[in-house]
Amino acid sequence: MSRVCVHGLGYIGLPTAAMLTSNGHEVVGFDTSERVLDRIERLDLQFDEPELRSLVSDALDSGDLVLATEPETADYHLVCVPTPLDASGVGTQTDNRTELRKRADLSAVEAASDTIADELRPGDTVIVESTVPPGTTAETVRPILEASGLTAGEDFRLAYSPETVLPGDVARELRENDRIVGGVDDGSTRSAVELYDSFVDATVYTTTATTAEFAKLAQNTFRDVNIALANEFAKLARDYGIESREAIRLGNTHPRVDIHRPGPGVGGHCVPVDPWFLAEHSDRTELLECARRVNDGMVGYVVELVRSHLGDLDGRRIAVLGVAYKGNVADVRQSPTLRLAHELVETGADASFHDPHVEADSVAQSERVALSSLSEATANADAVVIMTDHDEYRNLDPQRMAERMRTPVMVDTKAMIDRDAWTDSGFDVSQV
């Protein structure tokens, strides 16, 4: 087996390091943050994942996973550092208006590449796993690495392989999801495939580095566009006085139709981010940008639904249930609820928040989101808004909720409740 240095121990790097260790590799887990390393050492993980805690514990106990504040030489270097959006973006002219297109912040990828260049030896393989715009591996990472004096494809191997895991089940998905691997040459592809074959129990597809980058972004952009279509259907259905989800369910009975579910927008690191990465080096982005506007605009639509029941929201108490971006996980990255918190403050509303999975320190940096218990969040509320499909919200008792609230209004963006039961309990109900 091989010696692997994993650069970045976040949502992907740490599970990957643990998975490699459990499959016989000697792994150095490198992160520039001593705080991150300290938390891992104490098994105080920033995300709640089945199986991950035991994998990390076993890896540390065996000594096959070594945590380091400095990189080390290795047969394989995996780049798993974050690639956030650069919110400053760049202005583009569309339909006589200037819009801000967001861009990828590749500073961490560039820094990791610089670091690897100092450790790079002939015969080593570098694999980028961070989500990046097409062309990044060949046009950004490669020149930085070749500043070492070594040449990609001749002296060392360079490839790209995107992660496609779902938060909440990362360990299983690392093993069972198909994998795409693309090298800057055939030898680089083969070397990367050898590493993934050691722990992936699924098909490993091979291509070029840029095609692999594009494919990952295309997957999530498809989802973003499909969700935007469902959200447009939801708003249209309201104009016709019908239930959007029932219409979508019936539409999906056709064998060639698969409309996604509407909701309050999209979150996580991938779906709201990847379309911008895909669009970074092209102007052929009308549909992508439209989908982004539709999905980001759903938070405003949720506020509109609340206003349809209460009118002016100034001074109204709104209880928001769910801060995580998806059900039954604690991940708040790009969560629509964080944007909703901002918009409610702008209306003058008094917003309270509850989430049974999210820890308070995960949202501590946002002074607009302070978590409280369910009873505290909904006490004397004028409206309840369900933003996340946590299982706990399926079992809410409408009668008990009505007794705590000042005004029985429910806005359910995830179709979690039985509308008839809540209406029978005196609630005015809107569902997305």
The residues annotated as belonging to the active site are 216, 270
Among 411, 417, 424, which residue's Cα sits nearest to residue 394? 417
Q: With left for phi above 0 and alpha for psi between -120 and 50, is residue 166 left, alpha or beta?
A: beta
Question: DSSP class of residue 384?
Answer: E
Cβ-Cβ contacts under 8 Å for 108 (sequence gap 6 or more): 8, 81, 82, 83, 130
Burial per residue of 148-163, b for 16 or more beta-carbon CB atoms within 10 angstroms, e otherwise: bebebeebbbbbbbbb
C-beta of residue 306 within 8 angstroms of C-beta of residue 383? yes
Tell me the torsion sign for CA atoms 387, 392, 398, 401.
Answer: negative
Nearest-angstrom CA–CA distance, 323 and 72: 38
Nearest-angstrom CA–CA distance, 89 and 100: 6
Nearest-angstrom CA–CA distance, 110 and 119: 15
C-beta of residue 245 within 8 angstroms of C-beta of residue 431? yes
Per DSSP bridges, beta strands 179-183 and 157-160 are antiparallel
DSSP count for the chain of H helices, then E strands: 17, 15
- Phi, psi for residue 66 in degrees, rounded to 5: -110, 125
> How many residues can be counted in the chain?
432
Nearest-angstrom CA–CA distance, 327 and 274: 21
**How many other C-beta atoms can be found within 10 angstroms of the C-beta atom of residue 1?**
14
The amino acid that residue 335 corresponds to is S
